[in-house]
Amino acid sequence: MEQLLVFLPIVAFLILATLFGLFLRRAGRLVAATRDVERFRRQASDLVSRAEKSLSEICNRIDAVRRGQLSAAAVGDDLTASIDAVERYAAEARELHPPIDGTRIRDDIAGELERAKRALEMVEHGVTIQASARAGARELEAQTAIKRGYLNVLHAREAIARHSAAAAAMVAMDPARRAGAARRTI
């Protein structure tokens, strides 16, 4: 009986130590998940803010061309620089390392940046036509290309802002739960 009284506290201590170890392990995973989510939020926010600033500036210039306040030739270099910048932003978006449930947000941001690039290329096409055309059907084609491209850039900007808000709303959860939640949504 005396042996049992000596052995019982040792067993209780081992059980408590095991439970405490399991708690610390789970807490460590939650801290790591929180760190991953915060890193992704920060990276996505930074990327989107830079892309938004760049797209906002070129949209103002394109709108001035559409309204006849600026000549088409005056925005050619700006369009080329913006297309290059948006292409780099899309590549940067594809390089982000989100948590499991953030991969769709990352892919959507990259997709919208590629959409903005195509829209800017359409504007560039219209500007090229407008700079070389005098009047007539080619002028109408140029105006149509500029307007369609401009509207597509605006829509891409709105979609990028929505995806950025979704990234900002992400919450950290235990990776085991996150994997289960990802399986349920698929």
- The CB density around residue 85, as the number of other CB atoms within 10 Å, is 20
Could you say which DSSP state residue 85 is in? H
CA dihedral 60, 84, 50, 104 (to 10 degrees): 110
Fold of 2-185: A middle domain of Talin 1 (1.20.1420)
Q: What is the pLDDT of residue 160?
A: 95
Determine contact, residues 175/149, Cβ cutoff 8 Å: no
175-185 and 2-66 are packed helices; what angle lies between their axes, rounded to 10 degrees? Answer: 50
Say what the pTM is: 0.79
Residue-wise pLDDT for 81-96, tens only, equals 999 999 999 999 999 9
Q: Which residues of the chain have pLDDT under 70?
A: 133-137, 174-186
Domain locations along the chain: 2-185
Q: What is the pLDDT of residue 180?
A: 59
Token couple for 83? 């297309």
CB-based burial of residue 95 (10 Å sphere; 0-12 exposed, 13-18 middle, 19+ buried)?
A: exposed
